Structure 1
Amino acid sequence: MRHYMRFMNFLLTLTLIFSLGSPLWEVKAITNPPETTAESVLILDVESGEVIYEKNATTKHMIASTTKVMTAILAYENLEMDKVITIGPNPPYAQGSSMGFKEGEEVMVVDLLYALILHSANDAAEALAEAVDGTMEKFAERMTKKAHDIGAVDTVFHNPSGLSDSDDLENNNYTTAKDLSLIMAEVLKYDELVELGQKKSHMLPLTNLVADTNRWATNKNQMLYQNSKFYYEPIIFGKTGWTPEAGFSWTALAEKDGRKLAVSMLKAVNQDTYWLESRSLLEWAFQETEVHKLYTRGQLLENAVLSNGETVPLYAKDDFYYVTAPLERPMPVIDFQGLEISQNYNAGETVHVAKVTLDQEVIGDIELVCEENIHLIASEGEESPEGEAIESKSSFFSHPFVRVVSILLFSIILIVSLLFILGLVLRKRRRRVRSRKMSNKRMQYLKQLEETRR
């Protein structure tokens, strides 16, 4: 079942990769977005992959414990929730936040995930990493590959917890606000993880080594608590982060009226500030922006005319979205200027990149692809894609005039043939009629002869 979910979720991943690979076009909203003090910020519309707001969104920063979002995703993808993990010798010595797991202690994956996401336990992060790949180094490689696979190409992981031991960016976990939002959007593919992140607290069951102490994992996301001044009802998942070197980081998911947004802040002033600012930004995004799908993947956009007079349909490679103020109904126009097919293309290849304009302003690019192979006739002396020389005479019958004349000649021949066959049929029929008349006359003659003899 989980493999099936991964396959079905691949489409959503592709959508996010292609959408965020495009320029961050300006959003036209009724009001300006609230000011933010974090160095890097991004709000992502998860379904469309459209950027709603960004501030230095591609600047690289260390990310501290927001690292654990990727750790949770990979642990969930590769381990069964009820699997029992035996804690190795390394996790108990993890620095920073910890649940106090002991070497040889037997803990279920689900409890390690609660400790990881709610309590931000570094020992849980290391235990999960070793359970998946044996070592933290191999798990970090898996983390980086997963990030790149979903389009977070400016992200590198060196450990599963986000701990840093120097100010050197390259030797620590780093990402961008844009990439971190992409990673956070992956969480939405797994309902169980989302539900886990919504719990306020979780008491770990007693284990083989801890039989007399209750250990609680408490959610550090203050935006979930109704009695908190930071409470925001649409928040459904969040992860905090801080180290002296990375500063404060934060990423979260919010849902309102079926619309889902991801927000990420790096190098924020402090926790209070990023909670208040993310709440203001998310509310602005929900209230003052709307995402429109202007073109749909596979939609016919243009019929291109080849040099031989044939037409080739071209289709949208991907969905094209645009963000406006609420209730606006944009009427875009595609500029096909420069569209000329002068080479061969295989099915699915991009034939042309057109400009999408709105009110005479370019709002983005859209790729046009062909669904079938396009093979132009090579001129004399040139070679076909298969490497065989094609003479210019071979193009004679592809000329439109020659085709029309050929059709007319074929029609004339067909009509003459039908007339000839019809003539034969009529001629045969006349012979039968004549034969009957002669037979009747002969019979009358024979009757008269018989009567004369009597």
Structure 2
Amino acid sequence: MFKKNIIISIITLFFIAVLPVTHSFSIAMAPNESARGAILIERDSGRILYSKNINQKLPMASTTKIMTALIAIEKGDLDETVIVKEEWTNVEGSSIYLKPNEKVKLKDLVYGLILRSGNDAATAIACHIAGSIDNFSVLMNERAKEIGAINTNFTNPHGLHSENHYTTAYDLALISQVALKNETFRKISKTVDYVSDRDLNSHFYNKNKTLWQYDGGDGVKIGYTQAAGRCLVSSATRDDIQLIAVVLNDNNWFNDCYNLFDYGFNNYKNTHILRKGNFIKNISINNGKIDKLPIVINKDFYYPLLKDEVKDIKISVKIPKTLTAPVKKGTVVGEVNITLKDQNIYKGDIKLSESINEKTLKDKMVNFIDSIF
């Protein structure tokens, strides 16, 4: 369909994206936080903007419930009614005060889980979805591996201390990144207060002070046990960039997250590197109704960059010199690779934006006659 002779071109950033970047940068020093493990990432790209002991295995307390909520949303029907069993109500620690035989919507349990950190809500969700805490823990660990959180192990849905229940700052950031890309989770985690359909204890206020203390704060979950210390996964959005900060075992948990956000927002800007619709080149078409077809970028790509990193972006485009009709719309005809200081940050397909039909016998006859006269 298309020939082996491939054009490989290194295109400067100025060719595809409209630069220079118009944002102003104000360089700030990296924060000096007190956490055992800490990380700051950008949600869409997952780029690590700050790190400290990010692969050290540590207990995570109630930040566990980010995964519990994600599985409830992905595998459950939030409008379904859950009938509470007595053994689900006898859980120590934070509670939404479930009653035996109470009928409650799964949605209300998830709100109670995230806003009020209800350990009884976590237990009810786990047993409703998977039949038992052990079965639900299997689902949690399977999902963690799918996400890439390979240094995490869950033994329960609430985060009460267990020797084999642990994560890392990096893994927890990965899990939170996936959760915050889920629209339902994102809505729940940024809710300040929520009124459920319950007859008693129906009003849930969020314990996460990030939502009202930090400009742009919009999530995610707090946690505390004596063994884990103070743990916080926090998120904030400004200028279309969402940052995720994780601190584990940190007495200055909220302020350290806010300092991480300040560092990220002051130093990194979400830079528009690829622009959808930008022209790359024309490709010659063999045996097609048209002789040439313009090839364009199929999708936008943004990436958080420091001011001085813009010059280090390189874009490599691989496309054939010719195509032979017929070729269908959406056919992959090449690829784009983007590197930052020789580290690959993006790889994407180039697809045809329209179909190319081959010449009919009539077309060929007309072309032959045109060539004569």
Q: TM-score, normalising length from structure 1?
A: 0.58
Q: Distance in 2 between matches of 1:204 and 1:182?
A: 30
Q: Distance in 2 between matches of 1:109 and 1:370?
A: 40
RMSD: 3.8
| Correspondence for 1:100 | 97
Residues 1:52 and 1:200: Cα distance change in structure 2 (over 3 Å): same
Q: Distance in 2 between matches of 1:59 and 1:29?
A: 31
Letter matched to residue 183 of structure 1: I
Higher strand content, 1 or 2: 2
Residues 1:94 and 1:370: Cα distance change in structure 2 (over 3 Å): closer
Q: From 258, 263, 266, give the equivalent of 2:248.
A: 266
1:210-260 CA-partner distances (Å, limit 9, x unpaired): xxx4443221011223xxxxx112111121001111111100221111111
Q: From 244, 248, 258, give the equivalent of 2:226.
A: 244
| Correspondence for 2:52 | 55
Q: Distance in 1 between matches of 2:312 and 2:130?
A: 51
The reply to whether residue 84 of structure 1 matches residue 81 of structure 2 is yes
Residue aligned with 1:163, SS: coil
Task: Tell whether the 8 Å contact from 2:210 to 2:218 is kept in structure 1 after alignment.
Answer: no
Residues 1:77 and 1:366: Cα distance change in structure 2 (over 3 Å): closer
Q: Distance in 2 between matches of 1:143 and 1:292?
A: 34
Residue aligned with 2:244, SS: strand
| Correspondence for 1:199 | 191
Displacement, 1:91? 1.2
Letter matched to residue 114 of structure 1: Y
Task: Tell whether the 8 Å contact from 2:90 to 2:120 is kept in structure 1 after alignment.
Answer: yes
Q: Distance in 1 between matches of 2:346 and 2:79?
A: 45
Task: Tell whether the 8 Å contact from 1:29 to 1:325 is kept in structure 2 after alignment.
Answer: no
Q: From 229, 252, 259, give the equivalent of 1:280.
A: 259
| Correspondence for 2:108 | 111
Q: Distance in 2 between matches of 1:60 and 1:324?
A: 30
Task: Tell whether the 8 Å contact from 1:224 to 1:235 is kept in structure 2 after alignment.
Answer: yes
Letter matched to residue 248 of structure 2: L
Q: From 214, 219, 222, give the equivalent of 1:232.
A: 214
| Correspondence for 2:132 | 135
| Correspondence for 1:255 | 237
| Correspondence for 2:282 | none
Residues 1:370 and 1:193: Cα distance change in structure 2 (over 3 Å): closer
The reply to whether residue 222 of structure 1 matches residue 214 of structure 2 is no
The reply to whether residue 149 of structure 1 matches residue 141 of structure 2 is no
Task: Tell whether the 8 Å contact from 2:42 to 2:304 is kept in structure 1 after alignment.
Answer: no
Q: Distance in 1 between matches of 2:54 and 2:65?
A: 20
Residue aligned with 2:138, SS: helix
Q: From 327, 330, 343, give the equivalent of 1:364.
A: 343
Q: Distance in 1 between matches of 2:110 and 2:345?
A: 41
Task: Tell whether the 8 Å contact from 2:46 to 2:177 is kept in structure 1 after alignment.
Answer: no
Residues 1:245 and 1:110: Cα distance change in structure 2 (over 3 Å): same
Higher helix content, 1 or 2: 1
Residue aligned with 2:311, SS: coil
Q: Distance in 1 between matches of 2:273 and 2:236?
A: 24
The reply to whether residue 184 of structure 1 matches residue 176 of structure 2 is yes
Displacement, 1:63? 0.3
Q: Distance in 2 between matches of 1:330 and 1:116?
A: 45
Displacement, 1:186? 1.9
Q: Which runs of 5+ in 2 are unaligned?
A: 1-24, 276-300, 317-331, 351-373
Residue aligned with 2:112, SS: helix
Q: From 307, 323, 334, give the equivalent of 1:325.
A: 307
* Paired-residue identity, %: 30
Task: Tell whether the 8 Å contact from 1:295 to 1:321 is kept in structure 2 after alignment.
Answer: no
Displacement, 1:50? 0.9
Displacement, 1:135? 0.7
Task: Tell whether the 8 Å contact from 1:291 to 1:324 is kept in structure 2 after alignment.
Answer: no
The total of aligned residue pairs comes to: 302
Task: Tell whether the 8 Å contact from 1:140 to 1:158 is kept in structure 2 after alignment.
Answer: yes
Displacement, 1:48? 1.4
Q: Distance in 2 between matches of 1:364 and 1:325?
A: 17
Bigger radius of gyration: 1
Residues 1:366 and 1:116: Cα distance change in structure 2 (over 3 Å): closer
Residue aligned with 1:330, SS: helix
Task: Tell whether the 8 Å contact from 1:184 to 1:253 is kept in structure 2 after alignment.
Answer: no
Letter matched to residue 110 of structure 1: K
Q: Distance in 1 between matches of 2:64 and 2:345?
A: 34
Displacement, 1:145? 0.9
Q: Distance in 2 between matches of 1:188 and 1:202?
A: 19
Letter matched to residue 265 of structure 2: F
1:67-110 CA-partner distances (Å, limit 9, x unpaired): 00110111011222211001123211111111221221111111
Q: TM-score, normalising length from structure 2?
A: 0.69
Q: Which runs of 5+ in 1 are unaligned?
A: 1-27, 208-212, 226-230, 297-318, 336-347, 349-353, 372-454
